[in-house]
């Protein structure tokens, strides 16, 4: 991804506000409800609102009190001659080096500067904001021993719209997302490049000054506390879960449009049939498809003895089983994310009873596994969508529609190459489904001899989610053309509304070939901005 692409992907709804350190400053961004950290676990929608919408972040007063209390525990170790990891020792394989008192502040600065070693394309703004929020949430638990002023300045960065430049490569998903978090901590120190609230690249020191923030002079343990978490991979997991839940509804709408347009039956989606196999997601998907296909003249037209088809192909008949399995996988991943959102990930940690203990909670394995799992099911859902599209284009299987849905087949090619685009994306998604978490390259002179590769799993999942949206868009566009070609028979009110929305947005009615890429993009936009779901739900009621 190029630097220019990164800028294009920035959410246009972002609004910047001033620093906020307690609930009393909740009106930092008028019209947006604040996200409160330190008052209980965050939820996925909190992450989305801060990352994409620019919701202000505030710290609960009780959390600040706990931060102050546990900081005193770390201060008590600051001049201790006994070694304490992160306070008076080196890091990783260098943990055996005892650091004199007069070098301990330099130790923290050096940690951040050396670990801010990322490379490659710039990571999307929403990802950086998500990981910053999640690090703030851990800091606000009081388990890290960080100072209050360090925490509140970090919150100030978020609320001022200052986004550190973070790079694609640098995290192994163990000992935290070290390089990405270090680039953020570097900005907190007033060093390195950032993007300001307008998206322009400036030096961190200048951005802090413009926001009325002072650079942080890191003290004992603070550098380590700023980088030792799974925040990057967790932030991307939360964003992906939000998007997949929306795309799953679109997948059911698309499947219903295809079943209807291909003269398939909705009898197989009956509730009592799905109750025989009580997989929860399957029942939800079948119910959605039933609602979307309701009152279709096209469906009723072949509910006669003249129709000799006994059953439909798997890509039509088994749509709820596949989409339902994806739903259940998303629910499992959301449970893992919820546990992680309730966690305080750092090493060492200050326990509630005042002990400072080393641990391995920074290992990203639980998050990495579900990131990989989601890439697998996203690829399979896209694969089934592509198969339904292909059936529309094959005159031997589309039950009376013209070849490739073309106006004058041979002169016109219709949607032939739109399916090629789908197939290319599905092929890439299958490659992206190869798990990252099964790989481990030891680092830090074999001290960190098993790593999760969760960051890599998260990065490829983002590409996969984007691919799924594009594949579903082609199916929706193609199924709409198929439904139009069934005239004068009318489609179901819900599917007809999707067709009308496409036409209103610039997708043409059937006719001679035209420049198709803009219409594919129209369909993608209506899929991702919620229009497809919204216009269908206007006739079906809420779809789950």
DSSP letter at 264?
-
Distance CA 88, CA 79 (A): 9
More confident residue, 509 or 243: 243
- 51 φ/ψ angles, rounded to the nearest 5 degrees: -65, -40
Alpha helices, H only, 394-530: 416-432, 454-484, 493-505, 517-528
pLDDT score at 11: 32
Average pLDDT value for residue range 120-126: 98
- Is residue 444 over pLDDT 80? no
Please identify every residue annotated as catalytic.
85
For residue 91, name the pLDDT band (cuts at 50, 70, 90).
low
More confident residue, 67 or 104: 67
Please tell me the least confidently modeled range out of 79-93, 328-342, 433-447, 503-517: 79-93
3-state DSSP assignment of residue 163: strand
For residue 30, name the pLDDT band (cuts at 50, 70, 90).
low
- Is residue 26 over pLDDT 80? no
Spans of all domains in the chain = 3-229, 237-540
More confident residue, 202 or 82: 202
- Is residue 329 over pLDDT 70? yes
pLDDT score at 96: 65
Q: How many helices (H) and strands (E) does the chain have?
A: 21, 9
Distance CA 544, CA 535 (A): 15
Please tell me the least confidently modeled range out of 271-275, 305-309, 360-364: 305-309
Please tell me the least confidently modeled range out of 20-24, 117-121, 419-423, 453-457: 20-24
Q: What angle do CA 62, 66, 70 make, to 5 degrees?
A: 175
Q: How far apart are the first and last CA of the chain?
A: 34
Average pLDDT value for residue range 493-499: 98
Question: Is 237-540 in the same CATH topology as 3-229?
Answer: no
- 377 φ/ψ angles, rounded to the nearest 5 degrees: -70, -30
Residues 176 and 362: beta-carbon distance below 8 Å = yes
Average pLDDT value for residue range 507-520: 95
- 508 φ/ψ angles, rounded to the nearest 5 degrees: -75, 160
pLDDT score at 399: 93
- Is residue 145 over pLDDT 70? yes
pLDDT score at 443: 79
Distance CA 341, CA 43 (A): 7
Strand partners, 37: 59
Distance CA 120, CA 203 (A): 19
Distance CA 432, CA 459 (A): 10
Structure tokens at 350: 């200050």
pLDDT in tens, 188-237: 999 999 999 999 999 999 999 999 999 999 998 999 999 999 999 999 99
**Closest to 213 measured CA to CA, from 134, 136, 152, 146:** 152
Q: Which CATH architecture has domain 237-540?
A: Up-down Bundle (1.20)
Beta strands in 143-252 (DSSP E): 163-164, 167-169, 193-195, 201-203
pLDDT score at 512: 96
Kind of pairing between the strands at 193-195 and 163-164: antiparallel
Structure tokens at 153: 């300045």
pLDDT in tens, 251-297: 999 999 999 999 999 999 999 999 999 999 999 999 999 999 999 99
For residue 12, name the pLDDT band (cuts at 50, 70, 90).
very low
What are the residues whose beta carbons fall under 8 Å from the beta carbon of 401, sequence distance 6 or more? 261, 392, 395, 482, 485
- Is residue 485 over pLDDT 70? yes
pLDDT score at 290: 98
pTM: 0.92
Average pLDDT value for residue range 131-140: 97
Residue 361, CA atoms < 13 Å, CB-side half-sphere: 20
Looking at domain 3-229, its CATH class is mainly alpha
Distance CA 226, CA 85 (A): 15
Phi-psi region of 43 (alpha: psi -120 to 50; beta: other; left: phi over 0): beta
Distance CA 83, CA 93 (A): 15
3-state DSSP assignment of residue 227: helix
pLDDT in tens, 369-422: 999 999 999 999 999 999 999 999 999 999 999 999 999 999 999 999 999 999
Structure tokens at 525: 């936009």
Distance CA 87, CA 157 (A): 25
């Amino acid at each position: 991804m190029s630097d220019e692409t990164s800028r294009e992907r920035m959410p246009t709804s972002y609004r910047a506000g001033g620093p906020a350190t307690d609930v009393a400053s909740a009106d930092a961004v008028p019209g947006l409800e604040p996200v409160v950290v330190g008052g209980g676990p965050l939820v996925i929608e909190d992450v989305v609102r801060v990352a994409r919408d620019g919701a202000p972040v505030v710290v609960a007063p009780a959390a600040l009190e706990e931060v102050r209390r546990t900081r005193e525990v770390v201060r008590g170790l600051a001049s201790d001659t006994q070694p304490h990891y992160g306070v008076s020792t080196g890091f990783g394989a260098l943990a055996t080096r005892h650091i004199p008192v007069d070098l301990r502040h330099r130790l923290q600065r050096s940690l951040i500067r050396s670990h801010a070693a990322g490379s490659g394309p710039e990571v999307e703004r929403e990802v950086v904001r998500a990981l910053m929020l999640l690090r703030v949430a851990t800091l606000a638990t009081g388990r890290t021993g960080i100072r209050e002023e360090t925490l509140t300045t970090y919150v100030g960065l978020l609320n001022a719209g200052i986004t550190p430049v973070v790079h694609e490569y640098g995290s192994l998903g163990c000992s935290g997302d070290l390089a990405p978090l270090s680039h953020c901590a570097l900005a907190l120190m007033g060093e390195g490049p950032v993007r300001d609230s307008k998206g322009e690249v400036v030096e961190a020191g200048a951005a802090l000054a413009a926001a009325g923030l002072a650079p942080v002079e890191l003290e004992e343990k603070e550098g380590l506390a700023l980088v030792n978490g799974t925040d990057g991979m967790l932030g991307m997991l939360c964003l992906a879960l939000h998007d997949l839940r929306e795309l799953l509804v679109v997948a059911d709408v698309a499947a219903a449009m295809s079943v209807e347009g291909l003269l398939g039956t909705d009898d197989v989606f009956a509730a009592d049939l799905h109750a025989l196999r009580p997989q929860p997601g399957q029942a939800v998907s079948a119910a959605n498809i039933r609602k979307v296909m309701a009152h279709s003249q096209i469906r009723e037209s072949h509910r006669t003895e003249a129709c000799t088809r006994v059953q439909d192909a798997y890509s039509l008949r088994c749509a709820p089983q596949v989409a339902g399995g994806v739903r259940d996988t998303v629910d499992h991943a959301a449970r893992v994310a919820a546990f992680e959102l309730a966690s305080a990930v750092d090493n060492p940690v200050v326990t509630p009873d005042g002990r400072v203990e080393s641990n391995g909670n920074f290992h990203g394995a639980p998050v990495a596994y579900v990131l990989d799992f989601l890439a697998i099911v996203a690829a399979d859902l896209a694969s089934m969508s592509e198969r339904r599209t292909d059936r529309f284009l094959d005159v031997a299987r589309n039950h009376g529609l013209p070849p490739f849905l073309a106006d004058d087949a041979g002169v016109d090619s219709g949607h032939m190459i739109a399916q090629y685009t789908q197939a290319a994306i599905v092929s890439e998604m299958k490659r992206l489904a190869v798990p990252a978490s099964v790989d481990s390259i030891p680092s830090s002179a074999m001290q960190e001899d098993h790593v999760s590769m969760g960051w890599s799993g998260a990065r490829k999942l983002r590409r996969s989610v984007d691919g799924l949206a594009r594949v579903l868009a082609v199916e929706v566009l193609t199924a709409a053309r198929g439904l139009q070609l069934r005239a004068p028979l009318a489609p179901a009110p819900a599917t007809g509304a999707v067709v009308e929305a496409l036409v209103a947005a610039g997708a043409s009615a059937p006719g001679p070939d035209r420049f198709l890429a803009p219409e594919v993009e129209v369909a993608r936009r209506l899929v991702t901005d919620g229009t497809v779901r919204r216009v269908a739900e206007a006739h079906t009621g809420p779809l789950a």
